[in-house]
Amino acid sequence: MSGQLQIDGPGLLARIQALGRIGALAGGGVCRLALSEEDRRGRDQLVAWMRELELEVSIDRIGNIVGTLAGRRDLAPVMMGSHIDTVATGGLYDGALGVLAGLEVVAALRRAGITPERPVQVAAFTNEEGSRFAPDMMGSLVYQGDLPLEAALDTVGIDGTSVRANLERIGYAGPAPVGVGRPHAYLELHVEQGPVLEHEGLEVGAVTGVQGICWTEFTVSGVSNHAGTTPMRLRHDAGAVFVEIARFVRTLTQRYGAGQLGTVGHCRLHPNLVNVIPAEAIFTVDLRNTDKLALDGAEAELLAFAAEAAAQEGVEITHRSLARFDPVAFAPALVDLVERKAQGLGRSVRRLPSGAGHDAQIMARLCPAAMIFVPSVGGLSHNPAEYTKDADLITGAQILLEALFDLSAA
């Protein structure tokens, strides 16, 4: 590849800052909830930039924005994408980076006078965050086909209004049919949103896939009683069973190795008084693993242990699944490509799974997909303090450019 094919670093940073001013929060960060007025203004800016780059802009019926650079041949396109909606207290990079770097890739191709063999697309998917309308990754799910368009449009959000009404209100209920054409490949550049790269002093992550997720809510029902008059052996303490299970979650992650995550983030005791044995404990367990068999094993062990711990204390326990997603593996050839491009640029790189969900995991059902991660300072994300160093942003975009160039060449 010629040295001319270079990302315009200042241009990328300027776009990130410009988009970040739309919905900017006092004191830092961004609130650009899906299909809000701020989202509309962000979309208008994106479409304007696509038009400046002479991309053919298509808005589909779920509001996904796709800008296409025609290729020399009528082949399946190579798509770069992510999202520009944010959580209520979001940062400048989550989502925006992948879309805006896509624009800079196109700009770099234009400057170099290169017309790729395959069409090249930049996509911004609707409502990736899911903060206002569930489920998250809505636009890519409809694009890919697993979420019916009508169901998505009928979705009512936290403010009682529908996706359909909001799309119409902001003028992004587009005319294009959703998900026509299967991309040749999909690439997504994103901030890591975790501390691994920074902690290991690395510049790039070649993302191998997305962890599987298993969320379980347990309800333990014991007997409330006086903490001073009830001997330990006569107790049916719902809180103590919660504690046993929560501790088991930690030991499970130790036994299953570094790929296994386990978190007890939520718990509620009743009556929750200093001198009353808890009658009820409701709590959640979040298990994640990139290995489906390991995740299934961890879940089965958790449920078995929970039943046994409850029986030993003489309390009832029930559980329900709050979420269950199998792990996603990205296309090995694309993961290799990302890793090679990082190494070719002299950057330190490691393979790692994504702990968070991304549009790429949905697109992976449709075509070969992969992601490039750049470090998040302090591992922070979904936070106004979210930050990735300028040099890392530009490195990520350069890797995206070079990988895209290879994939679009034939």
201 binds a copy of itself (CB under 8 A): no
19 binds a copy of itself (CB under 8 A): no
255-285 burial, b at 16+ Cβ within 10 Å, e below that, comes to ebeeebbbebeeeebbeeeeebbbbbbbbbb
Could you tell me the two tokens for 360? 């790429």
Among 24, 267, 329, 345, indicate the residue that binds a copy of itself (CB under 8 A).
Answer: 267
268 binds a copy of itself (CB under 8 A): yes
Phi, psi of 158 (to 5 degrees): -65, -20
Question: Within positions 297 to 326, which residues make up the interface with a copy of itself, using CB under 8 A?
Answer: 322
Q: Which residue has the tokens 């993961």?
A: 335
For residue 19, give the amino acid letter.
L
Nearest residue (CB) to a copy of itself, 105 versus 240: 240
Residue 38 Cβ vs a copy of itself, minimum distance, rounded to whole Å:
24
346 binds a copy of itself (CB under 8 A): no
Among 48, 234, 409, 410, indicate the residue that binds a copy of itself (CB under 8 A).
Answer: 234
274 binds a copy of itself (CB under 8 A): yes
Residue 215 Cβ vs a copy of itself, minimum distance, rounded to whole Å:
6
Among 74, 229, 293, 346, indicate the residue that binds a copy of itself (CB under 8 A).
Answer: 229
Nearest residue (CB) to a copy of itself, 300 versus 323: 323
Interacting span for a copy of itself (CB under 8 A) from 75-83, 142-150, 348-356, 362-370: 348-356
Q: Which residue has the tokens 């809505």?
A: 138
Residue 34 Cβ vs a copy of itself, minimum distance, rounded to whole Å:
19
DSSP-assigned beta bridge partners for residue 216: 285, 321
Residue 13 Cβ vs a copy of itself, minimum distance, rounded to whole Å:
24
DSSP letters spanning 39-100: HHHHHHHHHHHHHHTTPEEEEBTT--EEEEE--SS--PPEEEEE-----TTB-SSTTHHHHH
DSSP letters spanning 203-236: SEEEEEEE-EEEEEEEEEE---EETTTS-GGG--
Residue 380 Cβ vs a copy of itself, minimum distance, rounded to whole Å:
8
Nearest residue (CB) to a copy of itself, 68 versus 253: 253
Phi, psi of 4 (to 5 degrees): -70, -25
Residue 387 Cβ vs a copy of itself, minimum distance, rounded to whole Å:
15
For residue 102, give the amino acid letter.
G
6 binds a copy of itself (CB under 8 A): no
Residue 304 Cβ vs a copy of itself, minimum distance, rounded to whole Å:
19
Residue 267 Cβ vs a copy of itself, minimum distance, rounded to whole Å:
6
For residue 160, give the amino acid letter.
G
* CA angle (328, 330, 334) in 5-degree steps: 175
Between the CA of residue 353 and those of 28, 44, 108, 235, 342, what are the distances in Å?
A: 29, 33, 29, 44, 17
DSSP H or E stretch at residue 328? strand 328-329
28 binds a copy of itself (CB under 8 A): no
388 binds a copy of itself (CB under 8 A): no
Among 239, 327, 375, 396, indicate the residue that binds a copy of itself (CB under 8 A).
Answer: 239
Residues 44/110/395/362 CA torsion (nearest 10 deg): 60
Computed from CA positions of residues 188, 202, 16, 120, in that sequence, does the dihedral angle turn out positive or negative?
Answer: negative
Residue 118 Cβ vs a copy of itself, minimum distance, rounded to whole Å:
33
Question: Within positions 99 to 118, which residues make up the interface with a copy of itself, using CB under 8 A?
Answer: none
Nearest residue (CB) to a copy of itself, 111 versus 324: 324
Between the CA of residue 177 and those of 66, 74, 347, 368, 392, what are the distances in Å?
A: 12, 19, 40, 22, 36
Q: Confirm if 59 and 123 have CB atoms less than 8 A apart.
A: no
Cβ within 8 Å of residue 337, ≥6 positions away:
370, 403, 406, 407
| Binding string, residues 155-184; x marks residues near a copy of itself by CB under 8 A | ------------------------------
372 binds a copy of itself (CB under 8 A): no
80 binds a copy of itself (CB under 8 A): no
Residue 292 Cβ vs a copy of itself, minimum distance, rounded to whole Å:
16
| Contact footprint for a copy of itself (CB under 8 A) | 192-196, 199, 211, 213, 215, 217, 225-234, 237, 239-240, 243-244, 246-247, 250, 253-254, 258, 260-269, 271-278, 284, 286, 288, 322, 354-357, 379, 381-382
